[in-house]
């Protein structure tokens, strides 16, 4: 009996020590970073930039894999179901971590809090309202005045029903007491194409994916949703400074892993991302692309998620937004 007990105890100790030993040796093979949004968008730009930085820091290849659809939830579900060994990571977003949980009509086949382990927020986004050059608008007030005089005539695009882009627009229409028609797309790039073509009037989106089109003159920047305005587009004001002083809307990207991923792996990822963000070359590169370098602790990321859930739940309920 005593021999059986000692053998069982030894086996239990080996079993419990296995994850810790694997974490100490991590990474020993290539890593996949899954991004739930299309190539060329703001999420994809950031994913590929930090895949390169993590490759350099960790000494292993980091490959970006795009699994689009359902506002990133297809990608999130794939990571939630993956082995919790640190070799499958998620480009986490505010929409996946926060708004999907409080969005009516969203059916999740995983628990975002239990099945995904948060590691770090990489960056916020400079977001803005921009319009088709086929429209005459150059200021926020011109958009509001026209929309008040012509309810439901203006259209705005988004990257999908329930996406951050739709929520920002909903907050804007509420505060401005106007009505516009929502035209959802599967991701930002196809929506942008329709705005450039003049078939959709405007969109609230991120600077990273629209900046080349602003610089080329294909679309017109109106105002930033976040405070302060980005130095990348001097002279473009904020919505808060353009007649809606309470308006503020931001977004962020980070890294998450399968829920049972050992804490030392999450902490290593956190440390490497924070280290990269402290490099002036990296931070200036992010700013030039339309991002706001963030970083911080795992606990700060968790607190941000809870804050965003509370804020956007109110917007969703006020506008009767429901995922399709």
Q: Does the pLDDT value for residue 6 go beyond 70? A: no
- CATH for the stretch 30-125+251-318: 3.40.190.150
Q: Does the pLDDT value for residue 303 go beyond 90? A: yes
Which superfamily does 127-242 belong to?
Periplasmic binding protein-like II (3.40.190.10)
Tell me the three state secondary structure of residue 64: strand
Q: In 3D, which of 259, 258, 269 has the Cα closest to residue 298?
A: 269
CA distances from 1 to 6, 13, 210, 313 (A): 9, 18, 70, 58
For the chain, residues classed under CATH 3.40.190.150 are 30-125+251-318
Tell me the three state secondary structure of residue 143: helix
The verdict on whether omega for the bond into residue 44 sits within 30 degrees of 0, i.e. cis, is no
As given in the structure block, the two tokens for residue 189 are: 């790039």
pLDDT in tens, 136-174: 999 999 999 999 999 999 999 998 888 889 999 999 999
**16 vs 226 pLDDT, higher one:** 226
Q: CA 14 to CA 21: how far, in whole Å?
A: 10
Percent of the chain residues past pLDDT 70, beyond the cut:
93
Best-predicted range by mean pLDDT among 1-10, 138-147, 218-227?
138-147
DSSP for 137-187, written as a single string: --SHHHHHHHHHHSTTTSEEEESSTT-HHHHHHHHHHHHHT---EEEE-SS
Tell me the three state secondary structure of residue 294: coil
Q: CA 87 to CA 260: how far, in whole Å?
A: 13
Predicted TM-score (pTM) of this structure: 0.82
Per-residue pLDDT, averaged over 24-52, amounts to 92
Q: In the block, which residue shows the tokens 């026209």?
A: 146
For the chain, residues classed under CATH 3.40.190.10 are 127-242
User: How many residues in the chain?
Assistant: 324
Q: Does the pLDDT value for residue 309 go beyond 60? A: yes
Q: Does the pLDDT value for residue 10 go beyond 90? A: no
pLDDT of residue 23: 77
Tell me the three state secondary structure of residue 274: helix
Per-residue pLDDT, averaged over 89-105, amounts to 93
């Amino acid at each position: 009996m005593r021999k059986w007990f000692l053998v069982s105890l030894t086996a239990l100790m080996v079993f419990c020590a296995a994850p810790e030993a694997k974490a100490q040796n991590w990474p020993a093979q290539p890593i996949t970073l899954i991004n739930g949004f299309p190539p060329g968008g703001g999420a994809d730009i950031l994913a590929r930039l930090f895949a390169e930085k993590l490759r350099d820091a960790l000494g292993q290849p980091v490959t970006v894999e795009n699994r689009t659809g359902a506002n990133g939830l297809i990608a999130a579900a794939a990571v939630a179901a993956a082995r919790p060994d640190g070799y499958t990571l998620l480009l986490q977003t505010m929409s996946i971590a926060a708004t999907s949980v409080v969005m009516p009509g969203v059916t999740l086949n995983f628990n975002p809090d239990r099945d995904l382990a948060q590691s770090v927020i990489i960056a916020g986004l400079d977001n803005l309202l921009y319009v088709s050059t086929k429209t005459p608008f150059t200021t926020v007030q011109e958009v509001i005045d026209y929309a008040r005089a012509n309810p439901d005539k203006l259209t705005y695009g988004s990257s999908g029903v329930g996406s951050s882009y739709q929520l920002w627009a909903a907050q804007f229409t509420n505060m401005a007491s106007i009505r516009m028609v929502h035209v959802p797309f599967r991701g930002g790039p196809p929506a942008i194409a329709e705005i450039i073509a003049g078939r959709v009037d405007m969109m609230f989106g991120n600077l990273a994916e629209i900046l080349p089109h602003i610089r080329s003159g294909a679309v017109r920047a109106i105002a930033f949703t976040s405070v302060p305005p980005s130095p990348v587009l001097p002279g473009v004001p904020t919505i808060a400074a353009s007649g809606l002083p309470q308006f503020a809307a931001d977004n962020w990207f980070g890294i998450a892993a399968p829920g049972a991923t050992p804490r030392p792996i999450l902490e290593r990822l956190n440390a490497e991302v924070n280290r990269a963000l402290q490099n002036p070359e990296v931070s200036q590169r992010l700013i030039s692309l339309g991002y706001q370098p963030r970083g911080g602790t795992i606990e700060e990321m968790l607190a941000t998620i809870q804050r965003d859930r509370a804020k956007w739940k109110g917007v969703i309920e006020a506008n009767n937004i429901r995922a399709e």
